Amino acid sequence: MQTALTRNQFIRAAAAAGLGLKAAPLVAQTPGRKYRVALIGCGWYGTSDLLRLLQVAPVEVVGLCDPDRNQLAAASALVCERQKLQAGPPVFADYRELLAKKNFDLVLIGTPDHWHALQMIAAVEAGADVYVQKPISCDVLEGEAMVAAARKHNRVVQVGTQRKSTPHLIDAKRRVVEAGLLGRIAHVDMCCYFHMRANGNPPVEPVPDFLDYELWTGPAPLRPYDGLPHKRWWRTFMEYGNGICGDMCVHMFDTARWMLGLGWPRRVFSTGGILVQKEGKSNIPDTQTATFEYDGLTLTWEHRSWGSPPDPDYPWALTLHGEKGMLKASTMRADFIPHDKKADKIHFECVYEKEQYPEDVTEKGIELNAAPATRLHMLDFLAAVEKRGRPVADIEEGHISTASCILANVALGLGRPLSYDPAKRVVTGDAEATALLRRPYRAPWRRPEAG
């Protein structure tokens, strides 16, 4: 297993991530240094993020936190296995107790969406640089508070939108978009047709003794307990997130923004609802179309958690439409298709790195196609930490992508287009929509404010 990087390896990785480094960052020049890392949220993706970090940097895991004792035990066992330790790191149920130790350099946050804002802000206040999973927030003003906290405390915050660190997408951006092969781009299609919407009717049951359900719920509404909320069950409720749009569109929208250099959309509109999968407890849309308008450019999102994808090779993807051709891109591949039939097509394949990291092959639940991207994303994060600069998926960029998807959901509920003013933090000319930029918190939890 690789646990450290040579000077050249780090420079190549940083360059691939778009950092443009001309000299080795400090992490490559201080081989005796270890990063003290704590993980909050030891479920599927939180643990996966930690394992990817362990693969690319010298790390001492100083704390694991989760209100589920079983998830804590599983994560601790994996850390012991990967680092050949006899005893696992300290464990905590409450993130506030972990952060009070202040014995860390980095904090990884892999909790459900409704926890991201409070935990990220508390972590930067405690002096940590943070890697927080997407979407960064459950409402728009949580995101504003997160950006403000990162800037106030001068902390590096990387968001887990690792498409920006996906090798074949970096290559496609450089060789197609930046090379001008598409010509003028006036439209982007984005989609997800995965059947990922949990839709059952489990009965209410007693909370198991290994889960602190009150703490797991935190600032969100307290639903009657009807089974373990992880891995996918919590995502099927708007109480904890923003549905498939907030979960999956944020990746593709963020990728399109990165490829095209876009900021806030001028206007957002959305239609859809629960049109087919009406049975079950789920309250997130099974069908949704969202439009993000820019000057001279429109980005459109569509998801269906039923039926078949129009293109089976690209069930979760984005397509950049240009006057000279189109670029289809996903986590698995990308294809440039020129309009000129005499011009060359370009195909890009996903990188896996199974030979370099053989432990990937046997890791339970790993997304093999995403592992190289997450490793590169971690390297970009560490380079920013050492340089005290902005990472490729800086919190502000994560906020724009997250908030835009949240605005699409607000527009869906209200049935009208919305224009958000990030300077004033209001929806222009729409007091009703502005009131929906913040969700109520369940007592005694208190909302963070941007100031």
Pair 244, 377 in one domain: no
CA distance 49 to 60: 15
The first and second tokens of residue 105, run together, are 């350099």
Pair 386, 412 in one domain: no
Q: How many CA atoms lie within 13 A of 34 on its CB side?
A: 14
The pLDDT confidence band at residue 281, using thresholds 50, 70 and 90, is very high
pLDDT of residue 33: 75
Q: Could you give the C-alpha distances from 147 to 19, 167, 369, in angstroms and in order? A: 21, 27, 30
Rounded to the nearest integer, the mean pLDDT of the chain is 93
Residue from 88, 32, 100 nearest 64 by CA: 88
Buried b (16+ CB within 10 A) or exposed e, 239-262: bbbbbbbbbbbbbbbbbbbbbbeb
Mean pLDDT of 8-15: 45
Per-residue model confidence as pLDDT tens digits over 363-373: 999 999 999 99
Pair 313, 336 in one domain: yes
The pLDDT confidence band at residue 433, using thresholds 50, 70 and 90, is very high
CA distance 134 to 11: 26
Evaluate whether residue 2 is within a structural domain.
no
Pair 414, 365 in one domain: no
**Phi and psi, residue 108, nearest 5°:** -100, 135
The pLDDT confidence band at residue 248, using thresholds 50, 70 and 90, is very high
**Domain, as residue range, for 368:** 7-165+355-394
Pair 239, 207 in one domain: yes
CA distance 381 to 383: 5
Buried b (16+ CB within 10 A) or exposed e, 70-87: ebbbbbbebbeebeeeee
∠ at Cα 219 (254, 49), nearest 5°?
A: 45
Mean pLDDT of 98-112: 97
Please state the domain count of the chain.
Answer: 2
Pair 160, 182 in one domain: no
Share of the chain above pLDDT 90, in %: 92
User: pTM of the entire structure?
Assistant: 0.93
Per-residue model confidence as pLDDT tens digits over 146-203: 999 999 999 999 999 999 999 999 999 999 999 999 999 999 999 999 999 999 999 9
CATH number for the domain harbouring residue 121? 3.40.50.720
Residue 58 pLDDT greater than 50, yes or no: yes
Pair 298, 270 in one domain: yes
pLDDT of residue 9: 44
CA distance 69 to 89: 14
Per-residue model confidence as pLDDT tens digits over 400-422: 999 999 999 999 999 999 999 99
* E-only strand ranges, 95-245: 106-109, 129-132, 157-159, 185-192
Evaluate whether residue 41 is within a structural domain.
yes
What is the residue whose two structure tokens read 């440039």? 336
Pair 248, 140 in one domain: no
CA distance 382 to 340: 43
Residue from 257, 216, 247, 245 nearest 408 by CA: 245
Pair 75, 14 in one domain: yes
The pLDDT confidence band at residue 451, using thresholds 50, 70 and 90, is confident
Evaluate whether residue 442 is within a structural domain.
no
The pLDDT confidence band at residue 231, using thresholds 50, 70 and 90, is confident
The pLDDT confidence band at residue 23, using thresholds 50, 70 and 90, is very low
The first and second tokens of residue 86, run together, are 């006899």
Mean pLDDT of 99-120: 98
CA distance 245 to 304: 10
- Sheet of 287-294: strands edge to edge? 267-273, 287-294, 297-304, 185-192, 316-322, 325-330, 333-338, 346-349
CATH number for the domain harbouring residue 420? 3.30.360.10
Residue 16 pLDDT greater than 70, yes or no: no
Per-residue model confidence as pLDDT tens digits over 24-37: 333 333 334 799 99
Evaluate whether residue 334 is within a structural domain.
yes
Pair 172, 272 in one domain: yes
Residue 87 pLDDT greater than 60, yes or no: yes
Pair 56, 100 in one domain: yes
Pair 267, 339 in one domain: yes
Evaluate whether residue 115 is within a structural domain.
yes
CA distance 338 to 74: 49
Evaluate whether residue 450 is within a structural domain.
no
